[in-house]
């Protein structure tokens, strides 16, 4: 729990930045949904997003209230829960867009991988922090990889290649922060790059291989799998410096852009708010990530530093992938833009991640517990 004196360390800027991102995303959601919904109603994506944002703020406060080291004591149980959720969703989960990723509960969909990411970060942080004396041991490095490979592999089966890559991204950052020898990381990356073509042929299904093919040449199927890629390029390219104006983007408002509230919401921004709108978005994300880095530097233990590192890299990587998809820098993967894209599970779990960061900042002074 939080001692009263610890509240003075609360980081209001972290929460303010997250709220600003949600509000910024809400403007884009309103515009992207205008053609389909017209006026505001209870079923409008904007209303749902704001409700989930309120739930997320409550979850953040709850997570921050509990000493983050308590989560470390439950790390293996949380890891087991993450793996069981990912196994269960393959058996009883709901399917959409060719993937089985969601549990349906009370009319809402809960994406298991969004919850699993946070739980695995906590478990991995505990594992690495407990083995600082043996961090140079190759077996520690290998077992940490196995810890991440199991849930990432289950996510890949769904299939959800983008989220699987998120697991490996925060794993690399966390093992580097933990002090794993650089040569171990380089050997792993070298093996990974050399084996990538063989792994792709073995693990990726035809649907995922088609995404790679259309990423290289979307005009091969301009009315099917390549349609959104082409429309995104048109939308962002036509936005220019200042954009066409909110609710005035032709690709968005005429429904040329599919999944405009989720995967391609950055295209809505690029078309309607232009380069200036993108700079504002990136500035907010940069400021948020710096607050996460601040939490890592303030942490008084390695466990807290590793959690903060994992969260920062998770957010950074998701921003990179989502924007990369919109500008055809990477293949279509279905990764949401944090705090911006429509999605209750993603938004709530992002606030849970911020709750962990707040918990670390609140308790970085040993004096508070004397």
Q: Residue 155 sits in which domain range? A: 4-369
CA distance 8 to 43: 39
Burial (CB count <10 Å: 0-12, 13-18, 19+), residue 92: exposed
What's the pLDDT tens digit per position in 129-147? 999 999 999 999 999 999 9
Contacts of 29 (CB under 8 A, 6+ apart): 45, 46, 49, 261, 265, 342
Question: What does the pLDDT read at residue 368?
Answer: 41
The total domain count for the chain is 1
CA distance readout (Å), 72 to 45, 257, 356:
36, 43, 11
Question: What does the pLDDT read at residue 349?
Answer: 97
Angle among Cα 188, 194, 197 to the nearest 5 degrees reads: 125
- 300: helix, coil or strand? coil
Whole-prediction pTM? 0.93
Contacts 24+ apart (CB under 8 A), 293-297: 294/11, 294/361, 295/11, 295/14, 295/357, 295/358, 295/360, 295/361, 296/177, 296/360
- 153: helix, coil or strand? helix
**Residue 2 per-residue DSSP state:** -
More confidently predicted of 370 and 325: 325
How many Cα atoms within 13 Å fall on the side-chain side of residue 296? 20
What's the pLDDT tens digit per position in 56-77? 999 999 999 999 999 999 999 9
Confidence of residue 160 (pLDDT cuts 50, 70, 90): confident
CA distance 188 to 184: 6
* Of the candidates 298, 353, 289, the residue with the CA atom closest to the CA atom of residue 6: 298
Find the helix packing angle between 138-157 and 182-203, rounded to 10°: 30
Task: Report the share of the chain in percent with pLDDT over 70.
Answer: 93
Pairing of strands 99-105, 94-96: antiparallel
């Amino acid at each position: 729990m939080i001692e009263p004196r610890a509240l003075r360390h609360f980081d209001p800027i972290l929460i303010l930045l997250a709220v600003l991102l949600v509000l910024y995303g809400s403007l884009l959601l309103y515009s992207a949904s205008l053609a389909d919904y017209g006026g505001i109603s209870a079923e409008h994506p904007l209303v749902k997003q704001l409700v989930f944002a309120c739930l997320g703020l409550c979850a953040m406060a709850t997570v921050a209230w509990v000493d983050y080291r308590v989560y470390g004591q439950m790390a293996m149980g949380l890891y087991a829960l993450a793996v069981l959720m990912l196994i269960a969703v393959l058996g009883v989960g709901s399917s959409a867009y060719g993937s089985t990723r969601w549990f349906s509960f009370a009319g809402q969909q809960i994406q298991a991988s969004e919850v699993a990411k946070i739980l695995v970060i906590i478990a991995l942080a505990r594992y690495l922090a407990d083995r600082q004396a043996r961090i140079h041991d190759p077996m520690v490095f290998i077992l940490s990889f196995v810890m991440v490979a199991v849930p990432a592999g289950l996510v890949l089966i769904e299939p959800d290649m983008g989220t699987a890559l998120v697991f490996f991204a925060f794993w690399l950052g966390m093992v580097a922060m933990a002090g794993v020898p650089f040569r171990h990381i380089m050997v792993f990356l070298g093996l990974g790059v050399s084996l990538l073509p063989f792994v792709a042929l073995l693990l990726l299904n035809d649907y995922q291989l088609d995404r790679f093919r259309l990423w290289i040449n979307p005009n091969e199927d301009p009315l099917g799998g390549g349609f959104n890629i082409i429309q995104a390029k048109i939308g962002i390219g036509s936005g220019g410096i200042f954009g066409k104006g909110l609710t005035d983007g032709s690709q968005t408002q005429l429904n040329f852009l599919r999944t405009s509230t989720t995967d391609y919401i950055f295209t809505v921004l690029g078309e309607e708010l232009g380069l200036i709108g993108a700079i504002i978005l990136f500035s907010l994300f940069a400021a948020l990530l710096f607050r996460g880095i601040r939490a890592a530097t303030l942490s008084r233990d390695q466990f807290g530093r590793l959690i903060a590192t994992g969260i920062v890299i998770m957010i950074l990587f998701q921003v990179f992938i989502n924007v990369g998809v919109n500008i055809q820098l990477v293949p279509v993967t279905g990764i949401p833009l944090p705090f911006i894209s429509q999605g209750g599970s993603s938004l709530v779990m992002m606030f849970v991640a911020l709750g962990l960061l707040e918990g670390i900042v609140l308790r970085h002074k040993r004096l508070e517990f004397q």
